[in-house]
A and B are shown apart, each in its own frame.
Chain A
């Protein structure tokens, strides 16, 4: 019991420290630029593109999809940067030398970004309601909120996977850019997954977001928890698998970085 308490304390301390030290970009201007301006313009761009291509009647499909995809902004960019920044700031050797539980410190890298991801989606949905008249009267709001939380968790799981690469790669944020925009193509954000070639559909269903976005679309249309539980369960499972894969990769690369003296190679 005492050991569990200690681990919780490490988790809390690590989460707090990663917030104050690694969330350094979150100045007011930085937050406005990357957490308000970027999400709002992303929604506007894809909605206008969709309206031009398919007509005004489909605006909500694009608006909702892109509002939900914003979780990846925090889950992918935030988490990858959080792990990669340890290396850039020269604190990685200290972290690797500490006796703290690796799993606890690893997972604590994601938690602030999960909260931030939920906040970003709330901004995105607010924009969608105000600008495009998203009607949530029929929506199952508690379920929609649950979907947002689940998607935030699962995208953070994916972020942890790619964040681990930051242990040995200098420009890990390039991976973040690649993954973030790849999700736009394959996860059913702007067009149904069924339009993709077979191989890419397989990729789509092995990634977070695909099932979560579908569940959230259903929740916005008034579906019940029972109707989307399969989708949400699958989404959680996929996110967990990516996070576990990320942790395994973290341990492997930690050992590799230690052997090769790569922790401080920048």
Chain B
């Protein structure tokens, strides 16, 4: 019960911090809208099929959701270090994972908001809608995607704290993730080797299911896609378990984490 309360408090604090942070608005509101605008202009060519436009409707939201997941939530430990509160967090009897759970959930909630402005923009600006939306499959796919992003954020948090250049590299490769996960166009258009790389990323499968739930045509192997995304997400969590061990060692044994 006390762990749930600690997570809840971390969640509330993270939401409050995001409400007043301009960066937060950049990630969940501005970026998604800008990418949605480019996507919709490019995809909305004369005679474009409705399946093309779907990528414009949801693509910006997916980009915003991912940005919040990896930047805001993934920096859960790093933020504490920059704020000088890392030692206090490690000194409290509450386990680190319980605090991060609340923080990451707060980030994910803000990330989900990205879909609202982009969908509204697509509808009002381009009269673009989701043509054959299957609500249940859409919701489940979004849930699977949320699980994938959550597991990635939980895994990245210790990684970013241990290796500062990891964030730099992922930040530089941000648009590469958009490509490999098929946020704005299907992965099937990529070279075979790139599709192989995309296959080990959990969001790729969840995004595939998400788009399939909005159109009538094409393959609809939802169960398989959800299963693969779920399995890969669990694999990330296993990696995260070992990374948190490393963070604990750096913070408590060597005391070097705050110096990194």
State whether the Cβ of B241 lies closer than 8 Å to any Cβ in chain A: no
Decide: A190 and B41 in contact? CB cutoff 8 A: yes
In the complex formed, the residue of B with least CB distance to A40 is B176
Q: How far is the CA of A38 from the CA of B171 in the complex (A)?
A: 8
Whether B57 sits at the interface, judged by CB under 8 Å, is no
Task: Tell me whether B239 is interfacial, beta carbon within 8 Å.
Answer: no
Which range holds the interface residue count of chain A? 20 to 34
Q: What separation, in Å, do the CA atoms of A52 and B183 have in the docked complex?
A: 13
From the candidates B42, B165, B190, name the one contacting A190 in the complex (CB within 8 A): B42
A51 at the interface (CB under 8 A from B): yes
Name the one of A29, A33, A38, A54 contacting B175, with C-beta atoms under 8 angstroms.
A38
Interface segment out of the listed A132-140, A157-165, A180-188, A258-266: A180-188
Q: What is the CB-to-nearest-CB distance from A208 to chain B, in angstroms, rounded to a whole number? A: 18
- Asked whether B202 is an interface residue with its Cβ less than 8 Å from the other chain, the reply is no
Interface string of B166-184 (1 = CB under 8 A from A): 0011011111101100001
Chain A residues with CB under 8 A of B235: none
Does residue B38 face the partner (Cβ distance < 8 Å to A)? yes
Asked if B22 and A29 sit within 8 Å, CB to CB, the answer is: no
User: B26 at interface (Cβ–Cβ under 8 A)?
Assistant: yes
Tell me whether A116 is interfacial, beta carbon within 8 Å.
no
| CB pair B168 A54 closer than 8 Å | no
**Set B22, B45, B176, B189: member contacting A54, Cβ < 8 A:** B45
**Interface check A256, CB cutoff 8 A:** no
B52 contacts A53, C-beta separation under 8 Å: yes
Task: Evaluate contact between B190 and A48: CB separation under 8 angstroms.
Answer: yes
Contacts of A191 in B (CB 8 A): 41-42
B102 interface contact, C-beta 8 A: no
- Given A34, A49, A54, which contacts B184 in the complex, CB threshold below 8 Å? A49
Cα A181 to Cα B42 in complex, Å, equals 15
Q: Is the interface of B mostly helix, strand, loop or mixed?
A: helix
CB–CB A41/B190 < 8 A: no
Say whether B173 contacts A41, CB under 8 Å: yes
Binary flags per residue of A33-58, CB closer than 8 Å to B gives 1, else 0: 11011100110111011111110000
**Which of B37, B42, B174 has the largest count of A CB atoms less than 10 A from its CB?**
B42
- Whether a CB of chain A sits under 8 angstroms from the CB of B39 is yes
Query: B34 and A32: CB pair below 8 A?
Result: no
Question: Which of A48, A174, A190 sits near B189, CB closer than 8 Å?
Answer: A48
Q: Are B22 and A174 in contact (CB under 8 A)?
A: yes
Tell yes or no: B30 within 8 A of A by CB: yes
What chain B residues lie within 8 Å of A50 (beta carbons)? 42
- Asked if A230 CB lies within 8 Å of chain B CBs, one says no
Asked if A44 contacts B169 (CB within 8 A), the reply is no
CB of A171 within 8 A of CB of B38, answer: no
Give chain B nearest CB distance to A141 CB in angstroms: 28
Flag if B38 contacts A38 (CB, 8 Å): no
Task: Say how far B204's CB is from chain A's closest CB, in angstroms.
Answer: 14
The 8 A CB mask of A146-168 against B (1 = contact, 0 = none) is 00000000000000000000000
Whether A178 sits at the interface, judged by CB under 8 Å, is yes
A185: chain B residues at CB < 8 Å are: 34, 37-38, 41
A171 B23 Cβ-Cβ under 8 A: yes
Q: Give B178 Cβ to nearest chain A Cβ, in Å.
A: 6
Contact A49 B37 (CB under 8 A): no
Q: B43 on the interface (CB 8 Å rule)?
A: yes
**Chain B residue contacts of A182, Cβ below 8 A:** 34
Contact (Cβ within 8 A) A171 B22: yes
- B199 is an interface residue with CB less than 8 A from chain A: no
The answer to whether A178 and B41 touch across the interface, beta carbons within 8 angstroms, is no
B222 at the interface (CB under 8 A from A): no
Tell whether, in the assembled complex, residue A177 and residue B26 are in contact, meaning their CB atoms are under 8 Å apart: yes
User: What separation, in Å, do the CA atoms of A195 and B45 have in the docked complex?
Assistant: 10
B218 CB, nearest partner CB in chain A, Å: 14
Interface: A30 (CB within 8 A): yes
Bound Cα distance from A244 to B190, whole angstroms: 45
Provide the bound-state CA to CA distance between A174 and B25, in Å: 10
Distance in Å: Cβ of B135 to nearest Cβ of chain A: 26
Known: A174-B26, A178-B30. A29 touches B168 (CB 8 A): yes
Please list 18 pairs of residues, one from A and one from B, whose beta carbons are closer than 8 Å in the complex, sorted by A's number. Answer: A33-B168, A38-B171, A38-B172, A38-B174, A41-B172, A41-B174, A45-B176, A46-B42, A49-B184, A50-B42, A52-B189, A53-B45, A171-B23, A177-B26, A178-B34, A181-B34, A184-B38, A195-B41
Q: Which residues of B contact A (CB under 8 A)?
A: 22-23, 26, 30-31, 34-35, 37-39, 41-43, 45, 48, 52, 55, 165, 168-169, 171-176, 178-179, 184-186, 189-190
Given A37-B169, A37-B173, A45-B178, list of 8 further CB < 8 A pairs? A38-B171, A38-B173, A42-B175, A45-B175, A48-B189, A174-B22, A174-B26, A191-B42
